[in-house]
A and B are shown apart, each in its own frame.
Chain A
C-alpha cells in the first residue's frame, strides 16, 4: 500500500472501544429479558403488548406498536465472505486484512463456501424457502470503514426467504407460563461486514480497523410481527440459541457477532401503520427491549401531544436509557444498488437437481445440509420436559444460560439423585450463586462432578439439605476440596444416633424451661426455636424432621 493505513493506537484502546460499544462487560451477556429472570421475579423488562397513555381520555383508543427487526449475525467461519483472511475477534488492528478487504484496485471477490453453507443451514432451521439461485448486489455509500465504497449484499434475490421463528413469551401471574409465538422471517441474505472506525476527537482523527471488513454476515429480516420490547428480546434470544446450536454464528452480542436494528411504529389497531423510526446500535438483548419500549412510549407521547413522528434513524443511549435522533445531515441515502458484476449467480442444488457426476467440492446440496442439522433448541426443551419431567419454563432457563444445559446434563450423568432434585439445585442454588457474582457457567468454581457428588451425599442421606448448602458454599470458595472431604472435615454427616439426639433434646428442654412453658401454653410455633437450638448444637448434622419428632414426643409425654 502506498499510503500507510492509519492504525489503532494499541490493543488496549481497542478493548476500551469494544466495551463502550457493547455497553457491557465483554465477558458475558446478561441473559436479561429472558424467561429465567422472570421466573425468579427479577424482571427488568417492561411488558406491555398494548399501550395506553398514562391518563386515558374519553373516547381514546389504545395504541398498538409494530416492531420489525433486522438482525446481523456474523457467520462463524475461518475466513471472510469473499477473501481468505482469517476471522478472529480482538486480533491486533488491521492484522487480518487481505488485499481484497482493503479494496486494492483489481482485486475480486471469491465466495466462501462455508458462509453459503451457514446461510443455507440457518435458512433451513428457520423454515425458510432456500432459493436455488440467488444474486449479489452492490450497495453504495461512502464511509471510512467501507473501503470499496460499497457493500456486497443480496438485495434483489437473497439466499433464503419466507421463514418463521417460534419463540416463547412468559405469561400468567407469576410469569411462569410459556406462550408460543411466531414471527415471520422475510429473508436471509449474505453480506459483508464493514470495518470499524474509532473517532479520536482529541486529535480529530478517525482510526480505521479493517479486521472486521468483509467478514460474512447473515442479515435476518423479520416481518413487523412483534409488538413490544419483550417479544423482540425473546425472539432474538431464540434466534441466538438457534444460531449457536447450528454453529453458524457465535452470536455473542457483546462481541458484536449479533447486532440488531429495530423498526418501530405505533398506530391505532385497525388504522394504517404509523411512520416508523429505526433504532440502531442495539447490542445487548436487555438494551434491545429497553430501547424498543422507550421508543414506543416516546412515539405515543409525541403523538398524544400533537407532535409527529419523523422517519429517521435513532440510536439508543444505554446510559440515559433513551433513543436519540442520529441527525443524518445527508438526508435520505440512495444506495444506488447495482448487480455485483464479479460474482456469477449463486446456484444451489438439491437431490433432484444435482447434476450427475458433479464434483461435491464444486456444488452445494441443500438436502445434504438438511441432514446434518443438529437438534434445535425447541426440540431440546421438549426432550428435557419429557426426559426429566421438568417444567417447560425450567427448560427455557437451562437453554438460555450459556453452558447451563451442558452443566446440567453432566451432573445428571454422574449423580444418582432424582432429575427433579438436580433441576432444582442447578436452577436455584447454582444459578443463584452465579447471578449473584455475575459469573458465566464456564467461570463457575463448582464443577458438575462436585455438584453430582454433593447431590449423591444428599440423596444417600449422608448429609442434611442444610449441610448440603453449607458444603456448596465451601465448594464455591475454590479450595479444591471434594464434597466428601468437606463433609468429613466439618463433620457434617447426618447424626444417625437417635439415642444421642434424644439426649441432646432432653438437655436442651431443660436448659430452656421458658420455651417449654410457652409450648405447653399452646404456642406450637416456638418449637422451631428448640429445633434450631438442637440443630445448632449438632452443627446442622441432625435431620430437623427427626429432631422435631423427638421433641414433640417428649413434650406430649
Chain B
C-alpha cells in the first residue's frame, strides 16, 4: 500500500507539459520534483534551486518575488503574521551580487525561508501571537535566524502560531487560526466531492496542527523552501504531519535556543519544516553547533555538514515499535500505515522489534506540571515595564502588572501561569514539581533502555489522525487538545531526543498522514538517513494547489474553474 500511494510518480512524467505554468513555479517545482522523487538523480530542492541560482537560470530576486507573490496569494491561509518584504528583497539583492561575483555563501544563499514568530528577529516585530508582544521589535537576532542569514537565506516573514506556542492547532493566537493548505488541495477537494454529506465547503477548512502551523502552511503552500518552527511537545512534528511536510526536532543541545522566546526551556528546540529530508539536513547543517550564548548547547564535535548518505539497504538496521503507542484513540488509517511501514522495513531486511516504553502514559500529565511551572517562571518578565504591552492603569505598580498581564495574555497562557505557580508553591513543590521531574527521568530512561536493547530508531505515529476541520477542532479546549495531540510527540522532548515526522501517504479523505522516527540523542544524522530512505520508499504525493496559485480567490468562489493542477 505504501508503494501504492505512488500515484505521484506518474505525475512526475507530466511535469514538462506544464509549459503554461508560472515560470518560477515550474522551475522551482521541477527541480524539487526531480530531487524528491526521481531517485536522487539531482540534489535535493534548495540545493537544486541553488544550482539553478548558480547557473543563473533564476536570480534570487526573481525567486524572492515569486515567493512574495505567493505569500500575497495565500494570505487567507493566515500563515504569516509579518511579511518582511523589504528585508527579503534587500537580502535577495545582496545574494544576487554574490552570485554574480561567484561568491555564493552556499546551499542556502538566496533561498527563501520563513521563521516562526517566537524567534527574535532584529528590527522585525516579534509577537508570539500575543497582545503582550504586539509591537515589540527585538534589537537582536536569534542565533538560528542569524545563522540562516549568514548563509544568505532570504527571510520572507514571521509565521503564525498559538499564543506563545501554547497549543496544538495554531488556532489560539491573536491573529486568528492558520488554515491548512491541504484544505484547498485538489486531492482533498476531489475526495470531498465524492461525499455528498460535505456541502459547506469553505467554512470546513482544516487546521494545520501546531503550534508551528504558520511555518507548516508557509512551506506547504510553497511560499518558502524551509521554515523554522519550535518544538516543545511536538509543535513542529504535529503540523508537519498535518501539512504533509518533513518536521524535524533536533536533539536538545544541538541547536541554539538563544533568541527563541521560551515555552519550556528544558524541552524547547528550534524545529525545521521542509518538503523533504535532504532539505531538513541542509538547514540543520546551517543551524547545528555550540553557541556561546546558549549554555545548554553541546561542545562535542558534531558531524557537519549533515550530508545524508543514501542508504542502499536497511538490513543492518533495527527498528523499534513501542507497544504503548498503540492506543485506542489511534485512527485505523494511521494504525494501518504504521504497521505497513514496519512491514516495509522488515521486508527490506531490517530487524523490527516490539519495545516497551512503560512510562509513556505518564508523559502528558508530567509534561503538564513541568510545562506550566516553566511557563509561570518564563512569563514573569512580561510585566509591561520595559517592552511589550502596558495597560493604562497607573494607580500602583502592582495594579499595572495585574492589568497588563490580564490584557496581554489569553486564557490559555494565564491558565498555565496559574497552574505553574500553584505547582511551585512551597507546600506543593515536592508533590508536583519534584515528582514530575522524577517521572521525566523514568520516561527518559525508557528510551535509553529501548536503545540499549539494540534498537537504532523507533517508529511511531506522529498524530492520532489526519488534520480535522477547524470547527471540529474548537469543540474541545486548548488543554484537552494539547493533551490529545501531543501524545506521541511529547515524551521525546522529555528525553531530549531527535525525532522527525515524515509524510507517508494520503488518508481516504485525501489528507496527509505522517509517521515519526525517534533516534538516539545526538544521532540526528543517523535518524535522518533512515528517514530519507523511508521517504524515498513511500513517495508521498505533492500537494496540488495549482488552482490556488493561479487565482486563489477563484478557488474559494468557484472550484470548477480552478481544476487545473500542476500535475496534469
Residues of A at the B interface (CB closer than 8 Å) are: 1-3, 5, 99, 102-111, 138, 140, 142, 144, 147-150, 206, 208, 334, 336-338, 341-344, 362
List CB contacts (< 8 Å) of B212-270 with chain A: 257-262, 264-266
Chain B contact residues: over half helix, strand or loop, or mixed?
loop
Residue with the highest number of chain A CB atoms closer than 10 Å, among B119, B373, B380, B425: B380
Cβ-defined contact, A144 with B139, below 8 A = no
Choice from A99, A108, A142, A206 contacting B139 with Cβ under 8 Å = A99
Knowing A106-B259, A138-B377, A150-B377 touch, does A2 contact B385 (C-beta < 8 A)?
A: no
Cβ-defined contact, A142 with B380, below 8 A = yes
Closest CB-CB distance, A220 to chain B, in whole Å? 24
Which residue of the partner chain B has the closest CB to A110?
B295
Which residue of the partner chain A has the closest CB to B400?
A144
Which residue of the partner chain B has the closest CB to A82?
B295
Q: Can you list 5 residue pairs at the A/B interface with Cβ under 8 Å?
A: A3-B390, A99-B139, A104-B120, A105-B126, A336-B426
Which residue of the partner chain A has the closest CB to B253?
A344
Q: Report B-chain residues with C-beta under 8 Å of the C-beta of A5.
A: 386
Cβ-defined contact, B120 with A105, below 8 A = yes
Choice from B139, B265, B266 contacting A104 with Cβ under 8 Å = B139
Closest CB-CB distance, A380 to chain B, in whole Å? 39
Cβ-defined contact, A103 with B120, below 8 A = no
Choice from A147, A208, A338 contacting B424 with Cβ under 8 Å = A338
Closest CB-CB distance, A233 to chain B, in whole Å? 34
Q: Report B-chain residues with C-beta under 8 Å of the C-beta of A142.
A: 380, 383, 398, 401
Going nearest first, the 4 A-B pairs with the smallest beta carbon separation are A149-B380, A336-B424, A341-B265, A341-B266
Closest CB-CB distance, A86 to chain B, in whole Å? 18
Please tell me if B397 contacts chain A, counting CB pairs below 8 Å: yes
Cβ-defined contact, B258 with A108, below 8 A = yes
The size bracket of the interface on B is: 35 or more
Cβ-defined contact, A140 with B377, below 8 A = yes
Knowing A2-B137, A342-B295 touch, does A106 contact B262 (C-beta < 8 A)?
A: yes
Knowing A147-B381, A338-B377 touch, does A106 contact B398 (C-beta < 8 A)?
A: no
Please tell me if B142 contacts chain A, counting CB pairs below 8 Å: yes
Which residue of the partner chain B has the closest CB to A4?
B386
Chain A contact residues: over half helix, strand or loop, or mixed?
loop
Please tell me if B454 contacts chain A, counting CB pairs below 8 Å: no
Cβ-defined contact, B295 with A140, below 8 A = no
Which residue of the partner chain A has the closest CB to B135?
A2
Choice from A3, A106, A111, A208 contacting B258 with Cβ under 8 Å = A106
Q: Report B-chain residues with C-beta under 8 Å of the C-beta of A362.
A: 299
Knowing A2-B387, A149-B383, A337-B424 touch, does A108 contact B377 (C-beta < 8 A)?
A: no
Cβ-defined contact, A149 with B381, below 8 A = yes
Q: Report A-chain residues with C-beta under 8 Å of the C-beta of B261.
A: 105-106
Q: Report B-chain residues with C-beta under 8 Å of the C-beta of A344.
A: 295-296
Knowing A1-B139, A142-B380, A342-B296 touch, does A208 contact B429 (C-beta < 8 A)?
A: no
In whole angstroms, what is the CA distance A334 to B296 when docked?
28
Q: Report A-chain residues with C-beta under 8 Å of the C-beta of B386.
A: 1, 3, 5, 102-103, 147
Choice from A106, A338, A343 contacting B142 with Cβ under 8 Å = A106
Please tell me if B433 contacts chain A, counting CB pairs below 8 Å: yes
Additional A-B contact list (16), CB under 8 Å, known A142-B380, A149-B379 = A2-B137, A2-B388, A99-B139, A99-B140, A104-B120, A105-B126, A107-B258, A108-B258, A108-B295, A110-B295, A144-B397, A149-B377, A336-B421, A337-B429, A341-B265, A341-B374
Choice from B139, B142, B425 contacting A334 with Cβ under 8 Å = B425
Q: Report B-chain residues with C-beta under 8 Å of the C-beta of A106.
A: 119-120, 138, 142, 257-262
Residue with the highest number of chain B CB atoms closer than 10 Å, among A111, A148, A336, A342: A336
Which residue of the partner chain B has the closest CB to A206?
B397
Closest CB-CB distance, A264 to chain B, in whole Å? 24
Closest CB-CB distance, A416 to chain B, in whole Å? 58
Closest CB-CB distance, B277 to chain A, in whole Å? 28
Cβ-defined contact, B380 with A208, below 8 A = no
In whole angstroms, what is the CA distance A336 to B265 when docked?
17
Q: Report A-chain residues with C-beta under 8 Å of the C-beta of B388.
A: 2-3
